[in-house]
């Protein structure tokens, strides 16, 4: 992306030409629906919603790498006096909206910003150190506050490290640096086990249902995410065996200070409470210290040995559950979650001293609500 940034600077100096249309997010992913060099508004690509007054632009498959103004960046580099500084427009190596790995370009007419999300954990730290406003995106340009949306991913654990026992690190690739450590509650076991095959992408982690879990020591950002009322939690899970009882007995992710009316939230699978299920559920403690149990409206029975893509979102007072890319329904609860000062855990709930017996892969937490099309796109890309 640096080459593109340099090319835009050279273009500005040499031609003084148009930088594009303001309030437009130009996206590097081509739209197969485009039938001319004019491009489209990317309607079929499942992109995040934009603020009022903004729109997307995508070039067609035939044109998106062009440097003559018909490509995904709307600058006519070929008009430079020395010829185009680029042979073709750069794009992300994966360049897919489903993965969130693509480039964007925004201008206000006189300044511009380029954005990208780093796939490699090795380079993810650069996202937080580039001077931009979003630590989960890499930003280049002359105004790093132009982009109209925040990427929103505040935690991403792919579980691809593949080795290491208790105390080993699993990297947070979101840019926020909240890496997890593998733990064994008894201090005598080996902790979660790395699995190299049969996972969703790369490696994954297996939990023994007795004492294995992952600990994210700095849970403050997730406390804020949940308390502020807008979030998404996404995970792939494959149960080896399913613990009986309510959904917190098969915890997928939690931030849980313990049993009783203390601050907590738990996302898991099992029977509903006080009745219903089985299905996914979300438990949280309100600011009044009362517990609230949000059960998925759709009941479903998990089959051990099968991977499930599950998610929960909260927008204001509305919780929506997803399974394998499709909605399992929404529930309204207007209570405000309590502030929490505690670690986030995967595969463990302190409320019932419960441990997950199964595997997890590709865990993500966002500080915004992913749309139904975004969740469907992630599932389609990874299934």
What is the predicted pLDDT for the residue at 128?
62
Domains and CATH numbers, the chain: 1-151 (no CATH), 154-382 (2.60.120.200)
Of the listed ranges 10-24, 137-151, 197-211, 341-355, the one predicted with least confidence: 137-151
Q: Is the predicted pLDDT of residue 220 greater than 70, yes or no?
A: no
Of the listed ranges 146-155, 159-168, 191-200, 257-266, the one predicted with least confidence: 146-155
* Distance from C-alpha of 70 to C-alpha of 131, rounded to nearest angstrom: 30
Of the listed ranges 73-77, 193-197, 258-262, 320-324, the one predicted with least confidence: 258-262
Considering only CA atoms, which of 153, 156, 213 is closest in space to residue 189?
Answer: 213
What is the predicted pLDDT for the residue at 336?
86
Calculate what percentage of the chain has a pLDDT beyond 70: 92
| Sequence-ordered list of residues with C-beta below 8 angstroms from that of 153, at least 6 positions apart, any chain | 100, 117, 136, 174, 175, 364, 365, 366
* Distance from C-alpha of 67 to C-alpha of 85, rounded to nearest angstrom: 9
pLDDT digits (tens, 9 = 90+) for 294-318: 999 999 999 999 999 999 999 989 9
What is the predicted pLDDT for the residue at 58?
98
Three-state secondary-structure class, residue 141 = strand
pLDDT digits (tens, 9 = 90+) for 221-276: 666 666 667 899 999 999 999 999 999 999 999 998 888 888 889 999 999 998 88
Could you tell me which residue, 123 or 245, shows the higher pLDDT?
245
- The mean per-residue pLDDT over the stretch 175-204 comes to 89
Calculate what percentage of the chain has a pLDDT beyond 90: 62
What is the predicted pLDDT for the residue at 228?
67
What is the predicted pLDDT for the residue at 221?
62
* Distance from C-alpha of 60 to C-alpha of 78, rounded to nearest angstrom: 19
* Distance from C-alpha of 72 to C-alpha of 171, rounded to nearest angstrom: 32
Of the listed ranges 89-93, 135-139, 333-337, the one predicted with least confidence: 135-139
What is the predicted pLDDT for the residue at 359?
98
What is the predicted pLDDT for the residue at 138?
86
- The mean per-residue pLDDT over the stretch 202-216 comes to 95
Whether the ω angle into residue 274 lies within 30 degrees of 0, i.e. cis, is: yes
* Distance from C-alpha of 259 to C-alpha of 263, rounded to nearest angstrom: 10
Specify the pairing of strand 24-31 against strand 55-60. parallel
Q: To the nearest whole number, what is the mean pLDDT of the chain?
A: 89
* Distance from C-alpha of 60 to C-alpha of 360, rounded to nearest angstrom: 37
What is the predicted pLDDT for the residue at 268?
96
232: left (phi over 0), alpha (psi -120 to 50) or beta: beta
pLDDT digits (tens, 9 = 90+) for 316-361: 899 999 999 999 999 999 998 888 888 899 999 988 789 999 999 9
């Amino acid at each position: 992306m640096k080459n593109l940034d340099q090319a835009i600077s050279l273009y500005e100096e040499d031609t003084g030409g148009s930088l594009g249309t303001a309030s437009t997010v130009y996206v590097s992913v081509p739209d197969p629906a485009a039938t001319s060099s004019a491009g489209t508004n990317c309607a079929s690509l499942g992109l995040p919603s934009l603020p009022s007054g903004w729109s997307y632009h995508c070039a067609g498959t035939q044109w998106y790498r062009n440097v003559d103004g018909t490509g995904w960046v709307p600058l006519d580099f070929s008009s430079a006096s020395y010829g185009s500084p680029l042979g073709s427009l750069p794009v992300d190596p994966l360049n897919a909206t489903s993965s969130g790995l693509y480039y964007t370009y925004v201008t206000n007419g006189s300044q511009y910003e380029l954005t990208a999300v780093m796939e490699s954990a090795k380079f993810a730290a650069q996202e937080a150190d580039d001077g931009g406003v979003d630590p989960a995106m890499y930003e280049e340009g002359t105004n790093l506050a132009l982009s109209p949306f925040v990427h929103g991913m505040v935690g991403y654990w792919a579980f691809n490290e593949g080795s290491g026992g208790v105390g080993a690190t699993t990297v947070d690739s979101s840019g926020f640096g909240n890496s997890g450590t593998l733990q064994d509650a008894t201090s005598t076991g080996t902790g979660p086990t790395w699995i190299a095959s049969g996972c969703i992408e790369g490696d994954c982690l297996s939990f023994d249902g007795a004492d294995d879990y992952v600990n994210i020591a700095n849970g403050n950002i997730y406390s804020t995410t949940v308390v502020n009322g807008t979030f998404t939690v996404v995970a792939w899970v494959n149960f080896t065996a399913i613990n009986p009882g309510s959904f917190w007995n098969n915890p997928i992710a939690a931030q849980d200070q313990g049993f009783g009316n203390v601050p907590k939230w738990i996302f898991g699978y099992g029977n509903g409470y006080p009745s219903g299920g089985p299905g996914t559920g979300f438990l949280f403690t309100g600011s009044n210290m009362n517990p609230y149990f949000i059960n998925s409206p759709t009941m479903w029975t998990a089959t051990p040995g099968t991977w499930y893509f599950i998610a929960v979102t909260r927008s204001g007072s509305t919780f929506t559950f997803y399974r394998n890319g499709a909605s399992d329904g929404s529930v309204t609860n207007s209570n405000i979650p309590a502030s929490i000062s505690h670690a986030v855990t995967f595969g463990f709930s302190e409320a019932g001293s419960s441990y997950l017996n199964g595997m997890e892969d590709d865990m993500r937490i966002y500080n915004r609500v992913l749309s139904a099309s975004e969740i469907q796109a992630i599932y389609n890309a990874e299934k």
